Amino acid sequence: MNDPTALIGPMAGQAIDLLVHAVERISPESWDHPSNLDGWSVRELVGHATGSAAKIVALVADQPLWAGPSKPQDWVCEDPAAKLRELATRLEEALPAADFDAMRTSPQGEVPLRRALTFPVSDVAIHSWDVQRSLGRPAELPEDLLGLCRALVESMPQEALRRPGGFGPAQPFPPDATPTSRLMAYLGRSVDGPG
């Protein structure tokens, strides 16, 4: 079986680009609407995802990292798309010198950079889908990012996956659901109806 982290550098850039594309399309009146994640507005969802994108850059550039998930309020800014484009540029600049075998801190302890990136890259990819879904737009993850997210989810014990603050119970999906929709339903997202 292929290592889903083999192309983690390009996938990191691709995940941030997906988020930038989703955020650039948010209309001014939609920012404070509820997102598809209970209790979070679209603005808060983007704030959290921006923090995950910043974590990717910090890991690749071997900069100090904060513990735990990114808090939405810490990353809400006046121009979220510009902040994400800045992070994408910083990532692009840092990737050529990255040593993907160098050890980094992750939720699993000290692991090679390629493995440490799995969590935040998957988070950004999943939340790019969430942004699109929150705005009623369909979205599909590229095959490599979908494979990375699926491998991460499959590697997690149910009690860790479904812990408070993690993913909700799996949701139903229609028989003709795409692979992305099936994964999102497994992660507790509603995939029925618009979007």
Does residue 181 sit within a domain?
Answer: no
Closest by Cα among 20, 35, 18, 33 to 134: 35
Tell me the helix, strand and coil percentages in the chain, rounded to 5: 55, 5, 40
Instruction: Provide CB contacts within 8 A for 106, sequence distance 6+.
Output: 115, 116, 118, 119
φ/ψ (deg, to 5) at 174? -70, 160
Does residue 170 sit within a domain?
Answer: no
Does residue 168 sit within a domain?
Answer: no
CATH of the domain at 30: 1.20.120.450
What is the rounded CA–CA span in Å between residue 189 and residue 138?
A: 13
| pTM above threshold 0.85 | yes
Give the model confidence (pLDDT) of 36-74 as tens digits: 999 999 999 999 999 999 999 999 999 988 777 787 778
Does residue 183 sit within a domain?
Answer: no
Does residue 56 sit within a domain?
Answer: yes
pLDDT attached to residue 194? 53
Low-confidence residues in the chain, pLDDT < 70: 1-2, 193-195
Handedness of CA 15, 16, 17, 20 (dihedral sign): positive
Residue 1 DSSP class: -
pLDDT attached to residue 72? 76
Does residue 162 sit within a domain?
Answer: no
Structure tokens, 53: 């994108």
Domain span at 79? 7-141
Total of domains in the chain:
1
pLDDT attached to residue 1? 45
Closest by Cα among 111, 70, 103, 107 to 87: 70
